[in-house]
Structure 1
């Protein structure tokens, strides 16, 4: 099993219910393929760096998961077929990135003493 991070930018016209349904659909896709959800982080509505499909905002969602390497192609196909998805990016995480994300989730960087940095 490999560690991955999926970032999706959904179209800004989604309702809150549609956004949650889309999150659930992709999370279920991961678990049905034998993967495991590590963390789900909806960022919400954010400005885009450049317009996509004549839209200047998008609803961001980051999903950290573990899965087999062949699963990414199936996930990519589903994301490309979904008209609600404007952009997506799947990143394979190495052990340092997994550890960093774990510490960040648990508030470890807030407690760092500036003298130790």
Structure 2
């Protein structure tokens, strides 16, 4: 398993549908033997440059773990979903064991 994080921007006119996007991502991650560790909604923020003539977007940061085959599947999902206007997926750790984190929290 590896640990990843993704930052994506939801189209400002489709903010009310952000939970559907999160549910779709979570379902894909869990179907591929991964898990979501943390979801941090940054909210509406100004973009560095206009995208599709929009100056704002809804930012969401998500930490998750999964196999090496998972990021390309997520990137494909981001590309075909018109609600997401920008995204990035970054590997945080090569070897991640979610069981070890649960044991550490319990101690």
TM score, norm. by length of structure 1 = 0.76
In structure 2, C-alpha distance between the alignment counterparts of 1:78 and 1:15, rounded to whole Å: 17
Answer 1 or 2: higher relative contact order, Cα 8 Å, separation at least 6. 2
Alignment of 1:4-83 (within 5 A): 4-16=4-16, 18-83=17-82
Count of aligned positions? 94
Runs of 4+ displaced beyond 2 Å: none
Q: Which runs of 5+ in 2 are unaligned?
A: 95-107
In structure 1, C-alpha distance between the alignment counterparts of 2:76 and 2:25, rounded to whole Å: 12
Structural RMSD (CA):
1.2
Deviation, 1:15, is 4.1
In structure 1, C-alpha distance between the alignment counterparts of 2:31 and 2:91, rounded to whole Å: 19
Deviation, 1:94, is 3.0
Q: Please state whether the residue corresponding to 2:14 is helix, strand or coil.
A: coil
TM score, norm. by length of structure 2 = 0.83
